[in-house]
Amino acid sequence: MKPSPACASCFQPEKLTNGVKRLIFFFALCLYTSLAAKPTDSLDLKIGQLLMVGFRGVSVSDTSPIVQDIRHGRIGGVILFDYDMLQKKSGRNIQSPSQVKSLCATLHSYSPTPLLIAIDEEGGKVNRLKPKYGFPQTVSAAYLGRLHSLDSTRLYATRTATLLSELGINLNFAPVCDVNVNPQNPVIAKLERSFSSNPDSVATHATAVVNAHRMKHILTALKHFPGHGSSQGDSHLGFVDVSSTWNRVELTAFQTLISQGNADIVMTAHIFNAAWDTLPATLSKKVIQGMLREELNFDGVVCSDDMQMKAIAAHYGLEDALKLALNAGVDMLIFGNNLDYDEGIAEKACMLIKGLIGRGEIKQERIEEAYQRVMRLKSHL
């Protein structure tokens, strides 16, 4: 019997090669997913996967503290910065495209499990890969919102995602889903980080950014839940109360992207609202479990904004902050090591969390739940 044209086409070498590659990738992914989060993993390893830290250096070696953290499973990810806030100088982790690519490749090579390498590459003023280091010029979310051309948003987002992929960075802490409620907001509006004062427009452009990154296999994080756009203060600097300014329209973009399955990670804001809780959002079970998990039906990874920001660090000790954040439902804790610097923060956090578990102040089931979410996220890399 003569094979049909459809059957005959299956045996074309170039198609067979692509098909075999896809098949191998599929089975490898299934195998990784089943093995990566196996229940026999130690408690230390599970806690480590919940921590992301920043570090100093444009290159690393066997003796680098960050490498020791990676090799011993004390962290699940790192975050890169171009400017060192404490030393007040540029070149912290970023000097040139070739240097960043080499740094990322080296970091990945030391990790026994897939390593998250993250960056805040929103574009415009919040941009770590600057032209002065040899990277392309970027534009802000506000610029794209004013232009209101989805083709333009997709174009710039694709350029960013392509660059991150080439460098070896696999997580972009973007897009900003905050609505531009307060035009005088010092940390959102003044830095042109919001797409628009129209919540539907924010959702539309944020969706385009996420999809462009997914095409290049780059994870994204929607921020800053449940909405930082109406604030009058900067949570990097201290306590921020939005009790009299926050509006439910600020949930719109988060709700839209989550319902569409376009949310890999949701990053919390360190903002306080008396109508929500007596705690800031990052530490609030009512916000994370109630609003985000139950109301918006999000079951992905929840990550904190930098736990060393003054809105948290100036009001809560490290142990209390860890306990409250994890019990609230945060799955991944970020220590940027840029507003404060502690090379031993990962080991210190792990020891404190283990102590909290030992005393019954954090349930081990909560760690297991967060760990499974993080490993499921990493399986998409």
Q: Which residues belong to the active site? A: 236, 305
Cβ within 8 Å of residue 301, ≥6 positions away: 264, 265, 266, 331, 332, 373, 374, 377
Is 303 in contact with 334 (CB distance < 8 Å)?
Answer: yes
Looking at the chain, how many residues does it have?
Answer: 381
> Residue 328 carries which side chain, given as an amino acid letter?
A
Scanning the structure block, which residue is given the tokens 């990670």? 265
- The CA radius of gyration of the chain, in Å to the nearest whole number, is 21
Query: Under 8 Å CB-to-CB from 322, ≥6 apart: which residues?
Result: 333, 349, 352, 353, 356
CA atoms within 13 A on the CB side of 309: 22
**What's the token pair of residue 136?**
């392309």
Report d(CA 125, CA 140) in Å as an integer: 7
Residue 81 three-state SS: coil
Q: Cα–Cα distances in Å, from 136 out to 12, 142, 160? A: 40, 18, 9
If phi > 0 it is left, if psi is from -120 to 50 it is alpha, else beta; for residue 261 that is left
Q: With contact defined as beta carbons under 8 Å apart, do 116 and 170 qualify?
A: yes
Order of strands, sheet of 116-119, starting from the edge strand that comes earlier in the sequence: 301-303, 265-268, 219-225, 171-172, 116-119, 77-80, 51-54, 333-335
Residue 274, burial from CB neighbour count under 10 angstroms (0-12, 13-18, 19+): exposed
CA 217 to chain centre: 14
